[in-house]
A and B are shown apart, each in its own frame.
Chain A
Amino acid sequence: MDFKDYKGVWVFIEQKDDMVASVSLELLGAGRKLADKRGVELAGILIGENVKHLTKTVFEAGADTVYVYDQPIFKHYRTESYMKALLDCSDKHKPEIILYGATSTGKDLASAVATDLPTGLTADTTELDVEEETGLLLASRPAFGGNIMATILCKKYRPQMATVRSKVMKALPPEIGRTGKIVEETISLKEEDIRTKVLEIVKETVKKVKIDEADIIVAGGKGLGSFDGFQLIHRLAETLGGAVGASRDVVEAGWIDHPHQVGQTGVTVTPKIYFAIGISGAIQHIVGMKNSGIIIAINKDKEAPIFQNCHYGIVGDAFEIVPLLIEMFEHALAKEKVTK
């Protein structure tokens, strides 16, 4: 393998319902930095049916080139068909780095592609960098279930690959009218050759908890002690008009459902105000909320790591502080209204 043949940073462009997934736009933002540092092209690889017009969005988000596989066989995401397109493209154009969103589709695809290439794949990356001289990808993620980060390298294989958490990287503001080179590719793949078939896609009508879009999140941890204790979090959230978040331990205890979990194996959130109440501040939790506008921690242990990751901290008992906060907040709002 001659590393000199491998050039450029690629982003797998995930699309659905005629839209480019936001994580792909974020990765184009992150990929742009890597490509510029290395002095190479940034490319998107777009696979689907009737998706060619999405290239516009991809260029505006920072790509120089988009490789497009637009064929009916790609109507639904399927591991085997998408993988074949990606392998075909990688074989022909030899990128140095391929990034995927750490979504269920991105992880599924990347795992299969990595095995066939073969190459190394770093999962759930939260920080990306590249060595300018060698092109070595520095992919970092929380590791070993502790409060540490690990940087993972793939020295002997190309391309280097990573899946990257959504909401961690920043998309560039779209540069309207920016264009680039479209490279149209096809592969000869017959429907009979694909061993899986999507029979039906069902959108669940149940209202999803969209805590990743809330301006205010009140998150509670194991420190609330019990299911009943955790109701205090709901009360504060209601008072402030915010959404409820939780640590993984709370979800595992069954005090609230998984869609509320913030962190590495939950959602990443960036609200304007984030309350962490009775949460110790493990790295897996921190990576999911550290980009919030104002982080407020309430914890009775003054050594808790959460205090290293907050803007304002109160060392105290949640059962004393939170009811007081609810009372005083309501009072203050009422006063506001009267004076107006």
Chain B
Amino acid sequence: MLHIVACIKQVPDTKIIKMNPKTNTMDRRTAPAILNPYDAHAVEEAVRLKHKYGGIVSVVTMGPPPAVSAIKKCIEIGADEGYLITDRRFAGADTLATSYAVTKAIEKIAKTRPVDLIICGKMSIDGDTGQVGPGIARRLDIPPLTSVNKVVEINQEEGYAIVHRKLEDGYEAVRSTLPCLFSVEKTINEVPYSPLPNMIKAARYTPQIWSVDDLEGVDITQLGLKGSPTIVSKVWAPPKPAGGSILEGNPRAQVEQLLSVLLEKKELFEAKEGV
């Protein structure tokens, strides 16, 4: 029986989000909240391993109360249990404070059911750092394996896992002791449409919800904004370069001007033409 914990995050759909041009901040109201797309692959991989080896998949997230819907989405994919840690004191966390809080939640989950494997997404589309996964691994003192694009074997009896880690020009096969943490690539699997029974289960599901006070041995100073070493000091629109010259005239005239620009760089094309 493997116990796999997937770490997930609810994020604003950055593709739809609008910026407030006056304040240069994100107008979160304009963006629907979704399960971080990378984390869907983390949950899917956990579920596949569960089907292969037998076990239980728990998902954990730190976020505001609406993050329950992201957990439900994971239940649809096939997760068994969901845990949300939510508290004003978590707000404003950077990656260091996030990995601290999520670790505390995992430690609590592990009290009732020891954890064999943790799976994170490659990155969150709003935080966009990929730092939280390795951070959690370090805090739990287990090996972090990033860029995982294939799980070859999990051997719980002998306590090891073998995975492929994507490299710039191929991959490496790595063996690690269990428990360990994977950050998985999007290419590791495809998330299929959820089967109906899972949808029904998800609709009825309520996750476990914990505040800071429900966690154990928490050092409040390491949470949220206070526990975050990095601060955003300045947000600015990138300086607008003078802008290019817009070519005038009808399409044919425009293309003609463009052509003369290109032909000034004739050597680039001649190389290809072998002239």
Contact = CB atoms under 8 A, between A and B. Distances in A.
A215 B24 contact: no
B25 interface: yes
Counting contact residues on chain B (CB < 8 A from A), the size range is: 35 or more
A198 B275 contact: no
Interface in A78-122: 79-80, 103-104, 107-108, 110-112, 114-116, 118-122
A197 B175 contact: yes
Contacts of A76: 172
Interface of B is mostly: mixed
B24 A148 contact: yes
B26 A145 contact: yes
A8 B251 CA distance: 56
B129 A123 contact: yes
A196 B145 contact: yes
A234 to B, nearest CB: 15
Report which residue of B139, B236, B247 has the largest number of chain A beta carbons within 10 angstroms of its beta carbon.
Answer: B247
B241 interface: yes
B138 A116 contact: yes
A95 B138 CA distance: 22
Interface string B130-165: 110111011100111111000000000000001001
Contacts, number: 251
A155 B253 CA distance: 55
Contacts of B232: 143, 150-152
Given A202-B170, A302-B246, A333-B273, A120 B229 contact: yes
Given A151-B232, A328-B259, A208 B169 contact: yes
B140 to A, nearest CB: 10
Contacts of A249: 15
Contacts of A149: 235-238
B12 A145 contact: yes
B240 interface: yes
B139 A115 contact: yes
Given A76-B172, A328-B259, A123 B234 contact: no
B134 A147 contact: no
Given A112-B138, A340-B275, A145 B144 contact: no
A311 B246 CA distance: 8
B126 interface: yes
B196 interface: no
B259 A199 contact: no
A148 B238 CA distance: 6
Interface pairs A-B: 5 shortest CB-CB: A145-B14, A241-B272, A120-B229, A123-B129, A120-B230
24 contacts: A76-B172, A79-B134, A108-B146, A123-B131, A144-B126, A145-B125, A151-B233, A151-B234, A152-B231, A196-B143, A196-B177, A196-B180, A202-B171, A202-B173, A241-B272, A249-B15, A308-B240, A310-B243, A311-B245, A324-B252, A325-B258, A325-B259, A328-B256, A328-B259
